[in-house]
Structure 1
């Protein structure tokens, strides 16, 4: 083939490649627009796909908006099969009246996620991974009927093996034990090599299920639709939830200097039944062995502490945790103290925080100085100037990774859960939180926040990062709807 023939062939290849690129861009752009998601997120994906036709397509395949109608329908069927009329009566038996100031807030939560206000005899803050592990092992040891665990990360390391051994011991005693983990977060435990860590547990009679397992026959792995929940239910009466996973990374006894600073909750009372309800949904949805036990939702004495379990996920468009946090911020008249490891706010969340600061509310934001994602850290810092201009005080937790997810409002409201203050937790993953109404809990949460402030440095309002860093932060912010 001579030079002219090579030139003609090259032009033909370029011509057809251009048409393929154009047609694929039109099809994918139409597909994204038809998803009818947030305009900023939609535009970000359209720009990514059109500027990076090959790389962008690969990124979209793994991280892009995913239709969940099939998953949603499957979860609805499981929910309907789960709840008998007797179950519903038991669940709704303990329904205290919320405080006057929280009437509309409680109604918003119930309407957006279907879970009603309940009560607890005890709500205990667990301010570290080691404390949480000790509490979990104590509750497991005391179990008489059943133990249910659901975790995003369950590592078969020193911490994980200690929990598995405790579960196996109770299974041999006849306690019904069920463990549900996320396929991506707990990839080591779910792998073939992880079977050896589960062998003793399974032999003892423990049950195991995987949430959204990765399958080779799927063209698009479910990267976004993960269970990010960290919950444990013991006999339907004691429950744990919050941000702490089962891993050495969050255990100070194994890693004294590097373990994450995190927060969890121990609940006793009627609110635990709603945690149980969520676990049973997730267990059935994940294909766990059918549950025929008759004591999943035991009656309990009303408690003095009002607790509202808030659940959200991509199977429900209501974004209950997102709405609850923004509504709580709007209610604030004195203070808003927010702690989160990943701060990539939606437009409405950012507006709520800055509005509160502008109307004179004391707004404090605590984030890690260095998270486990450089891009997320950079994206968070891109919002600092706007926040500070409105009067928000921004603090960075120094040293080890900060992983607590808490919200404190005025003197009577506190929230602890698994959700980060970002788009992924608000819209893409299954999350759970507990909103607690009461001055005692609020004071404990405030004391913990103030203790953490002693390990923070305040971000200077006139902070000027080097030009390359500012550019990186700006680019990261553009990508924030995709994070």
Structure 2
């Protein structure tokens, strides 16, 4: 075939793909224009990039079955009744009631009241308690992590789970196929021989690579006997217990739960596990707990199988209703336009807006984009702090003194619309005060990024930020 004819065919295919994007993915105008520009200036490379990162039109088809199965087990009516009863409580203010209702409407998030919680800001403390709870398990242990490494910490966990299998405890592990791609199956030989189950979420089969690559399960959940649940930011790996030469101390936020909220984490694990394996687990929630502490919280989840960007909407609601303070911690701050403008408006309205990010990158592209966004916010009066003790991986937001949230979702477009995420919202002043105190302690380990210091960055840094910001819808 003549070379000129090959080029002509290539450009015609490029044109057809461009028209396809315009008509099929026109909801996000900026993203559509970005892909059109890529296809125009990088006609062949752009096509390959789109195949890997831009096939969002397949999302609904890919997750139709999961959405249908999840709907069958939702208890929306029961949740509505519980919310209606609690919404009349004088101890809930208007902002709290509005957010409770938003999460119920968009994520079927049960509002729970009687719970106990313990926070962890150091991975060593978290895994010490987790291992002890696993040792005391009697019926089942369900484990779900984005990253599960078979290094020293991972092998210690597997060894402990092997012992529980010998005792007759049911053990199931679900890991993300991309996040846990370094996992070594040989370390699970004994685990499987004893009856343990380990499965991958959305494995990347070659024929489905382009439709699965973007959608990752970023949740971290452990449920034990329906009595105890763990969730937050820590994965399984040596770096999370500060055994990493590159980052040193790993600053994250995780929590241990007992009470009504445990049922919601069990329900979420069951949905994810059934989607990945087609198997419905048998573990049940222990309803006869004796927790009497009034600690109100709500689990909100989101992902490409959701009709709404539920966690993003939670962030947006908290930002837009903040009156005195809004303190944000996130390793990645690459917001979409609605979140970015809401943060600006809050700061310009006199709200004490503080954003804490790491002072060192684990992903350079995202780090440069983050610098671009926070740099612009400095002009609006937002205070930005770069955490320097180690690597800041915590994802938490504190609003005024009445609402706060901690979980797995970063302040980026990937967490808002592509990843499967899970955040816990707290509606009490004690938790708010505790997380605020931790934020202030983290400030002592941070250096403020002032506007003067930001403006002194090198020309190379400015170019990097400008380029990565252009590609922020893809990050």
TM-score if structure 2 supplies the norm length? Answer: 0.92
1:251 positional shift: 1.0
Whole-Å separation in 1 of the counterparts to 2:269 and 2:25: 29
CA distance in 2: counterparts of 1:384 and 1:254, whole angstroms: 28
Q: Does 1:75 align with 2:69?
A: no
Note the C-alpha offset of 1:230: 0.6
1:208 to 174, 198, 212: 198
Residue 386 of structure 1 is matched in structure 2 by 376
Partners of 2:208 and 2:374 in 1: CA distance:
40
- 1:364 has 2:354 as partner: yes
For residues 14 and 360 of structure 1, what CA distance do their matches in structure 2 show?
61
Q: Secondary structure at the match of 2:86?
A: coil
Q: Where does residue 313 of structure 1 map in the other structure?
A: 303
Q: How far did 1:21 drift? A: 1.3
Deviation at 1:88, TM superposition (A): 7.5
Q: CA deviation at 1:359?
A: 0.8
In our comparison, the structure showing a higher alpha carbon Rg is 1
Q: CA deviation at 1:26?
A: 2.7
Matching residue of 2:149: 155
- 1:235 counterpart = 2:219: no
Pick closer, same or farther for the CA change 1:114–1:343 going to 2, 3 Å: same
Summarize deviations over 1:424-462 as a string: whole Å, max 9, x none.
000001000000111111111011111111111111212
Match of 1:354 in 2: 344
Name the count of aligned residue pairs.
Answer: 465
- 89, 97, 100: which is aligned to 2:86? 97
Q: Structure 1 residue 467 and structure 2 residue 456: aligned?
A: no
Q: CA deviation at 1:221?
A: 5.1
> Which one is further off, 435-444 or 120-129?
120-129
Identify the match of residue 298 of structure 1 among 287, 300, 311: 287
Among 86, 110, 129, which residue is 2:104 paired with?
Answer: 110
Q: Report matched runs for 1:213-292 at 5 Å.
A: 213-218=203-208, 220=210, 222-252=212-242, 258-287=248-277, 289-292=279-282
Q: Deviations over 1:278-324 (max 9, x none)?
A: 1100000001543244x246354564000010100001130000000
Question: Structure 1 residues 163 and 32 mapped into 2: Cα distance closer, same or farther (>3 Å)?
Answer: farther
Q: Deviations over 1:182-221 (max 9, x none)?
A: 00001122xxxx2211112212221222100111232525
| Aligned Cα root-mean-square deviation (Å) | 2.2
Q: How far apart, in 1, do the equivalents of 2:244 and 2:196 lie?
A: 26
1:422 to 409, 412, 415: 412
Partner of 1:411 in structure 2? 401
In structure 2, distance between residues paired with 1:297 and 1:75:
26
CA-to-aligned-CA distance 1:370-404 (integer Å, 9 cap, x gap): 22111111111112332111110011112522111
Match of 1:139 among 133, 141, 145: 133
Distance 1:306 1:43, change over 3 A: same
Deviation digits for residues 307-359 of structure 1 (CA, Å, limit 9, x no counterpart): 01010000113000000011011121111000000100111101111111111
Aligned equivalent of 1:340, options 319, 324, 330: 330
Match of 1:6 in 2: none
Report the Cα distance in structure 2 between the residues aligned to 1:170 and 1:88, rounded to whole angstroms: 35
Provide the C-alpha distance between the structure 2 equivalents of 1:254 and 1:353, rounded to a whole number of angstroms.
34
Q: For residues 237 and 88 of structure 1, do their structure 2 counterparts lie closer, same or farther at Cα, with a shift above 3 Å needed?
A: farther
Q: 1:64: how far off?
A: 1.7
Instruction: Give yes or no for contact 1:371–1:402 (8 Å, CA) kept in 2.
Output: no
Whether the aligned pair in 1 keeps the contact of 2:385 and 2:448 (CA below 8 Å) is yes
Deviations for 1:153-194, whole angstroms, at most 9, x for unmatched residues? Answer: 0000111111111212112211111111000001122xxxx2
